[in-house]
Structure 1
Amino acid sequence: MIHLKGSCHCGQVEFEFDSETPVPFMRCFCSICRKTSGGGGGYTANIMGLSKTLVITKGSDKIKSYRAIKDKTKPLEEQQQCQDRFFCPQCASYLWAYSDEWKQWIYPYASAIDTPMKPPPATASIMLESAAEWADPRKLPRRAELNQMFDEYPDFSLEMWHKEHGELV
């Protein structure tokens, strides 16, 4: 068991909980995660926490929630709602998801966790049929020279990258 702490970007909301599964290994590309979290190039990475241990240490009166619809293409009477997504309305940081279907768990967004977490030994990408084409890992180049990584900002601008790769419009 590990105790984790998290917060929103503006600092109005802080929370903590215990987790038996604190490694953020799964990246969800579903349209709901992609549209509501805006994280990770079109995906969101969740971990799992014990709901009975969730303590909102700051800003409990600030938190809002949103319950998405699973398939908006279906007629209204057939639509199913899914997990509640809790967020800070001031800075729009998504904090965790919760479902009445699995009352014992919360699903904190890894991006909201402040406690250092262990990097995953492997990752899983799910809901790829909903992935935006530009973020779909099945369609991204695999050659190392095309997948650069930087500890801080790179020494080139977005415009420079687009020019270099013939993508400036």
Structure 2
Amino acid sequence: MKLHGSCHCGKVSFTVNSVNFYPYQLCYCSICRKTQGGGGFAINLGADAKSLKVKGKKFISVYRAKVSNPDEKTYQSSGERNFCKICGSGLWLYDPDWPELVHPFASVIDTPLPVTPHKTHLMVEFKAPWVKLEKKRGDKIFQRYPKESIQEWHDRVIRHKKN
């Protein structure tokens, strides 16, 4: 599916191809929560990095977060959070450790996305205390990252339903 996305002020727009476009994964880490300004979590999708086409590149800036996990040494993330430097909209995450992927934030996708049959709540260890986790039947909850990738989830849940 070709996804169309844009920032709030319209200075940046992009398209990207994705076979993993169900917005099922809610991340409660402090980085996603604070940079996305959502309901206590952010949702990102999986897409083909080579297909990313961007208009307004001069308005994009990149943020590389410092990661501070309990009982671990603080380090700088290799993940590059691309955002509009005019309005601050988070656009996508790119990580050179996985150069074939780009992860657009569902919040900036203008293409209608399907409703997911269930959600995966991850990084719940870092959830803000004011956020009530809305677990529904079939949802899975993980204190940190699940072992199942975005691709594996789509293969198991979505593609399995079609067969």
5+ residue gaps, structure 1: 143-169
**Residue in structure 2 matched with residue 85 of structure 1 by the alignment:** 81
For 2:121 and 2:8, how far apart are their aligned partners in 1? 25
Verify the 8 A CA contact 2:78 2:96 in the aligned structure 1. no
Higher strand share: 1
Identical pairs, percent: 40
**Residue in structure 1 matched with residue 56 of structure 2 by the alignment:** 59
How far does residue 49 in structure 1 lie from its aligned partner after superposition?
0.6
* Letter in structure 2 aligned against 1:13: V
Q: TM-score if structure 2 supplies the norm length?
A: 0.77
Would you identify which runs of 4 or more consecutive aligned residues in structure 1 move more than 3 Å? 72-75
**Residue in structure 2 matched with residue 137 of structure 1 by the alignment:** 133
For 2:86 and 2:33, how far apart are their aligned partners in 1? 20
- List per-residue Cα deviations over 1:68-109 (Å, max 9, x = no partner): 01117766xx52424110000111100000101111000100
SS state at 2:23 partner: strand
Larger Rg: 1
**Residue in structure 2 matched with residue 70 of structure 1 by the alignment:** 67
User: After the TM superposition, which residues 9-158 of structure 1 pair with which residues of structure 2 at under 5 Å, given as runs?
Assistant: 9-39=8-38, 41-56=39-54, 58-71=55-68, 79-137=75-133
5+ residue gaps, structure 2: 137-163
What is the RMSD of the two structures over their aligned residues, measured on CA atoms? 1.8
Verify the 8 A CA contact 2:64 2:76 in the aligned structure 1. no
Q: TM-score if structure 1 supplies the norm length?
A: 0.75
For 2:123 and 2:78, how far apart are their aligned partners in 1? 15
Aligned length: 135
SS state at 2:62 partner: strand
- List per-residue Cα deviations over 1:120-157 (Å, max 9, x = no partner): 1111110001000111407x9x9xxxxxxxxxxxxxxx
